[in-house]
Structure 1
Amino acid sequence: ASHFRRSAKATALLNSEQKKLKLAEHKIIRDNETRWSSVYFMLERFLEQHKAIYNVLSDLKSDLAFPSLSDLKDLAMLRDYLKPFQEVTTVMSSEKNVTASSVIYLVTELMRHATDFSVLHEDKYKVTAAVAASMRVSMLERGFPSYASNKILLLATILDPRYKTAGLPNDEAVQAAKGELFRKASLLDDSNDGIDEAVVEL
């Protein structure tokens, strides 16, 4: 990306190749090391434009190394692995769409995604599996599982008709959510006598 930013000639050649190959005339993206969603977009753009980039580097007789076919497959797998993180980042950063009831569900799904990928693909896609394992450790260190014990989030999840108990990661979280709901209900007046039956059906 930095090579094309610095070279007007390379940029012009890239635009020409994009037209020849009938590719979208997008710029090459540089990643932000602090955001996985940024890495995802960088990979997505590179894979979209890799034929044009290869042709430009060949025309310029550049000594920059270009990924092999095997490398491109690995990059495509890494992009696919990161896509759920990009999607969750988009949802969680949207003030219009994000709700407290979604937090536990989304965090649980990301943890499961990282765990499954690091195990299922550790032989064929070693780099991406290693990234998945590293991200899982990072999520653990940042306390992601603790969201499932947050009383406010538990209540929000179990009361959301989209999730109910299915939005919680395990039976322990389900029982904790029901217990907190019963506790809240006990503080209300007798007009809420039907709350126990409603909770039992969740």
Structure 2
Amino acid sequence: MTRAMEDSDLKGIRCMAHTLQIAVHEGVLSQRSIADIIATGRKIVGHFKHSPLAYSRLQSVQEQFEMPPKRFQQDVSTRWNSTYYMLESLFSQKRVLAAYVADYDLPSTFTSYQWLLIENTLSLLAPFEQITKKISSSDASAADVIPLLAALKRLLSKEAETDYGVKTTKSALLEAVNKRFSQADSEPLFCIATVLDPRYKDHYIDVEKKQRVREMVQAELDLLKPLGDSEVTHREGGEGAEKKRIRTTEAVRVPSLSDMFEEILQENNPDARQTTSATAQQLDSYLSEVPIPRSDNPLTYWRTNQGRFPDLAQMARRYLAAPCTSTDSERLFSAASHVLDEKRNRLTCDKAEKLLFIKKNLPLFL
């Protein structure tokens, strides 16, 4: 995927899901107390996974508690959320495991303090699991990065009742997030995409960086070719050309001392500047409106409002198409195994590519 981006001369960004994986490993899973809990959990899950007799006994205990039969989830070291799901499945069966240990042997068990630590660790990692699900969806974009990080950092900086035993871990996790995402709020792609998302706009960008981000968006808008300029040029002639000469004559005038006072005043008071360009007026009008609910689709908003903000809508098509993770593209690689298999191994490359394209894009039109 990296080679494809380079060959296509496209700008690449780090996968947010992978960066979160590193941050969680550095801040939480590397802690000695948490690592001991995970090791114990793997022994318990492995015991039931490799022993049909043990699993049969576990089902009997679950039936006594009137609980549906449920297997424990085995984690994968390269996926931090699989470790989260393993601890969650163990914690949900806490009473069942206590009853099982009373009659049968287990290779390892949790102490009462470790059960409390598991509960608080799950509370600490729950927001990361929510974010991972959010950014792994097919409609996640680069616009989600800055708002999600802003909400996550604020949550980690607040004290909670579930901090007992994990306060140091929580601080280490916040430090890891700040370290791994230190450049996120300065990346032009993230900043511009966030502003162009009507759910966020500039509300999740630091106050001292708002003006800088606005300049980024305005610079991109200035690069867009104004709509209809070529048509106006072709139609000009005769009376139109005469009006153009008049406008040109009016535009060329000697600056006055009063103009200099006004110019200096505006330079030292950026907020008081009067924006006259059409693109600047579009940006002002767009940012002055209340953001739409986070549950709404930003692409639907731009489809509806492209008549009001044509230049911004054109930019949104470019920037909101950028994903923030490689998860969806990896799913596409996995989908290839369902198209090309042992029973369909004579498909040509072109035919397989078309089938994959239909599989991926047909739901968008249904």
C-alpha displacement at 1:56, in angstroms? 1.2
Structure 1, unaligned runs of 5 or more? none
Q: 1:178 aligns with which of 211, 214, 218?
A: 214
User: Structure 1 counterpart of 2:179, which letter?
Assistant: E
- The answer to whether the 8 Å contact 1:104/1:153 transfers is yes
- The answer to whether the 8 Å contact 1:4/1:10 transfers is yes
Name the SS of the counterpart of 1:200 in structure 2: helix
Higher relative contact order (CA 8 A, sep 6+): 2
- Structure-1 residue corresponding to 2:115: 72
1:149 paired with 2:159, answer no
1:30 paired with 2:66, answer no
- Structure-1 residue corresponding to 2:164: 125
C-alpha displacement at 1:137, in angstroms? 2.5
- The answer to whether the 8 Å contact 1:158/1:164 transfers is yes
C-alpha displacement at 1:40, in angstroms? 1.9
Name the SS of the counterpart of 1:3 in structure 2: helix
Inter-partner Cα distance in structure 1 for 2:106 and 2:218: 68
Inter-partner Cα distance in structure 2 for 1:162 and 1:53: 45
Inter-partner Cα distance in structure 2 for 1:24 and 1:167: 43
- Structure-2 residue corresponding to 1:107: 149
Deviates more, 1:34-43 or 1:174-183: 34-43
Name the SS of the counterpart of 2:190 in structure 1: helix
Inter-partner Cα distance in structure 1 for 2:77 and 2:172: 15
The change in CA–CA distance for 1:59 and 1:123 in structure 2 (over 3 A counts) is closer
Q: 1:89 aligns with which of 129, 132, 145?
A: 132
Percent identical residues: 26
Post-superposition CA distance 1:51-79 (Å, at most 9, x none): 111111221144633331x4433322211
Inter-partner Cα distance in structure 2 for 1:123 and 1:44: 16
- The answer to whether the 8 Å contact 1:36/1:86 transfers is no
- Structure-1 residue corresponding to 2:279: 195
Post-superposition CA distance 1:138-195 (Å, at most 9, x none): 22332x1311111111111111110011232x11332222010121222234559322
Quick check: which has more Rg, 1 or 2? 2
Inter-partner Cα distance in structure 2 for 1:197 and 1:157: 19
Post-superposition CA distance 1:9-39 (Å, at most 9, x none): 2211111111121223221123333433222
Structure-2-length-normalised TM-score: 0.48
User: Structure 1 counterpart of 2:164, which letter?
Assistant: Y
State the superposition RMSD in angstroms. Answer: 2.4
User: Structure 2 counterpart of 1:137, which letter?
Assistant: E
Structure-1-length-normalised TM-score: 0.83
C-alpha displacement at 1:125, in angstroms? 1.0
